[in-house]
Structure 1
Amino acid sequence: MKVNSFVRLRVSLVSLITVAAAAAGVAATTLAPIAAAEPELTASARIELQGAVNVRDLGGYRTYDGERTKSGKMIRADALGKLTDADVAKLGTLKLQSVIDLRTQAEVEGLGADRLPPGVPLVARPIDDTGMFAKMFQAISSKDPAKQHELLGDGKAEQIMGDVYRSFFTPDSLSKFGQTVKDLAATNTATLFHCTAGKDRTGWLSYVVLRAIGVPESTAKQDYLLSNQYRAASDAALREQLKQGGYMENPDLLIPLQEVRNEYLDIALQTMEQKYGSFGKFLTNGLGLDPMTIAKLRKNLVS
C-alpha cells in the first residue's frame, strides 16, 4: 500500500471509530471507573477524558519499603490527537513539564498530532512498532475475510505482537526508552508519555520505571494489564463498527493486537534475561542508567 493511501485509510477509519463510539455511547466520559484487581492498585488514578481512554496517573503504588509513588509526576496515556477542548483544559491543570510521544511518524500522520495545553513542550521520540499498525490496516483495508485470516489468524496476530515486544531491545528502542527514564529522573514535575493505544510501548516503559523505583513486580504487571479494562469498550466498539461497515467479517481477529497479555510481557522479560541476565543489569547496561540516575528517579517519583 502506498504511504498516502495508507494515511488516508487511517484517517477514514479513525473518523469511523469516532462516529461509532459516539453512536454506541462509549465515549471515555461515560465509562465507569474500573476497580483495581488488588489493593495496591486502588490509589492509581484514571484521568477521565473524552478523546482518550487509557490515561492514568501512576501515583499511589506502594513500594517494597512501604513508601508510595508520588501523584502528579508520571502520567501514562494513549494518543492525544482526538482530545476535546475540555480535555485540553483538563490536561492544563496537571502542570505538565513535557509530553513525550513514542509514536512513529506514520502513526502521527494517520491518527493526528497531539492536542496539548499552550506552552507544554512536545518531545517526539518515535519507537518502532515493527509495522504492527501497517499490518493491521492492511488487513482491514483488504475487506477480504480470507486475506484477513491469512494475515492475522492461526496465531499470526500473536506473532506480530511478539515481534513488537522483542523489538524493545533494539539499540534505537533501548536508547529512547532509556532517555525517557532519564527525563523522568531529571525533573520533579509532571511528565506524560504515550504511544497510540497506551498499552505496549507505554506499558513496557511504565512497567520498567515502576520496578526501577521499588514497586513490586506483581504490582507493575497488574498496572500493565489494566489497559485491557480501560480500553475494552472502545476496542469492542471498533470491532463492531468494522463488522457493520463491511470491513471485517470476523473482527475478533484484531483482539490479539488490541490487548495486552501476560504472554507478551513475558516475551520482553525473557528477552531481557537472555541479553542482560537480570533486571538490574538491564537498567544499567541496556538503558544506560547509572546508580545516580536511578537514585534521582526514585527521589523524584517516590514519597
Structure 2
Amino acid sequence: MDIDLPSECKDVTVGHPIDGLENFRELTTPDAGIKPGVLFRSDQLDGLSDAAIAELNGLAIETIVDLRTPEELKTYPNAQIPSVDFNVNLPIGSDPADIAKIMPIEIASQIRPMWFEGKFDEIDQLLADHDVDLRQIRIDRYRDFATKFDPQVSRFLHLLTDANNFPMLFHCAGGKDRTGYMAAVTMLTLGYSEEDAVRDYLTTNAFTYDELEQLVGKGPHSLRPAFGAHPEQIKASLQAVKDAHGSLDTYRRDILGISDEEVESIRQNLLLQN
C-alpha cells in the first residue's frame, strides 16, 4: 500500500474527538514539549453538528485562522464557534486537491466520469497523453507555498507571538497541504527538526488511513500524488526555502520579519517550560 506513515507510528494516538472532522489534532511532536490545548490544526469547519460545535466551544478556542480562499469560504462557510472572538483569513492559493485548479479544465472534466465508472487505466492514459505529471505539479505547488505567500506566513507567525490569541485553531480544506506547510514552519520556529516537521505532516495519513486505503488501493496510479501526505512534497517546500534564502533562519528573520525576540515569544506561548 503506497501510504506513507510517520516514524514511530505506534506512538501516534489516532482519534476523532470532534464529529465531522477527520484531521483535527494538536501538533504531533516526539516529546511532550508543546503545551496541551493551545494550538490545533484541522480540516475545514463547515457543516458541523451542534455536538461538534459544543466540543470545539469547550476547548475555549479564541482564534481561528482559515487558510482557504474567499471562494472556498463562501462555498463551505465555517460553523460559528461561540468561544471564538477572532477570525483571520490568510488565503494560500486554491485547494491543492481540486484537480480543476491544477490541470487544464478539459482534462479534469473527463476524469470525474471515468473515476465513477472505474476506468482507472483510461485515466492514467489520459494524463500520460496530455503530459500531465501530477507528482511534479504537486511538488511545484508545495514550492509555491514557500515562495509566493510570505505575507500570509509572516502574519500567522506574528499571531503566535500574542498570548491573547490562544487557544488557536488553524485549518485549510483537508488540513493537509496548506495547513501542513504552516505547521511545519511553526515546528521549525519552535526549534524542532525537519524530521519532526515531516513526522507531524505524515500523521495526516494515520488520521485519514481508512479513506486513503480506498483511494490509493483502488484508484488510478497517476492520481495518487493528490491523495494523502507525501514526504517529498513537504520536503520540496522546505528545500525551496533553503534554495531561495540559504537557511530557514534567514527566511524567518529577513523574509517573514520574525525577530529572535519574537521567536522567543512564540516559544514562551507554545512550549512547556522545563
Q: TM-score, normalised by structure 2?
A: 0.80
Gaps of 5+ in 1: 1-34, 244-249
Provide the identity percentage: 29
Distance change (3 Å), C-alpha of 1:68 and 1:41: farther
CA deviation map 1:177-215 (0-9, x unaligned)? 111111012125211000111111111111111121122
1:270 is displaced (CA, Å) by 1.7
Report the CA distance shift for 1:113/1:297 in structure 2 as closer, same or farther (over 3 A): same
Kindly state the Cα deviation for residue 236 of structure 1 after the two structures are TM-superposed.
4.6
| Residue aligning to 2:196 | 219
The answer for the alignment partner of 1:293 in structure 2 is 262
1:113 and 2:77 matched: yes
- Residue in 2 that maps onto 1:50: 19
Q: Which has the higher contact order (CA 8 A, sep 6+)?
A: 2
Partner Cα distance (1:57, 1:41) in 2:
14
2:59 corresponds to 1:90: no
1:150 maps to what in 2?
Answer: 126
**Structure 1 residue 183 and structure 2 residue 159: aligned?**
yes
Change in 2 beyond 3 A, CA 1:59/1:256: closer
How many residues are matched? 254
SS in 2 for 1:75: strand
**Root mean square deviation, CA, Å:** 3.1
Cα distance, 1:90 vs structure 2: 0.5
Matched-pair contact (CA < 8 Å) for 2:68–2:95: no
Runs of 5+ consecutive residues of structure 2 not aligned to the other structure? none
* Distance (Å, rounded) in 2 between the aligned partners of 1:230 and 1:130: 19
Aligned equivalents of 2:124 and 2:87: distance in 1? 36
Tell me the CA shift for residue 157 of structure 1. 1.4
Instruction: Assess if the C-alpha contact under 8 Å between 1:132 and 1:164 holds in 2.
Output: no
CA offsets 1:34-91 (integer angstroms, 9 cap, x no match):
x97438965x7855222110110127653xxxx7111111100111113221111100
1:256 aligns with 2:228: no
Distance 1:147 1:123, change over 3 A: same
Give yes or no for contact 2:70–2:91 (8 Å, CA) kept in 1: yes
Q: Structure 1 residues 85, 51: CA separation in 2 closer, same or farther (over 3 Å shift)?
A: same
Q: SS where residue 96 of structure 1 aligns?
A: coil
Distance in 1 (CA, whole Å) between partners of 2:8 and 2:264 is 28
Select the residue among 242, 261, 264 that pairs with 1:273: 242
Counterpart in 2 of 1:99?
Answer: 64
8 Å Cα contact 1:60/1:68 also seen in 2: yes
Give the letter for the 1:259 counterpart.
G
Query: What residue identity is the alignment partner of 1:282?
Result: Y
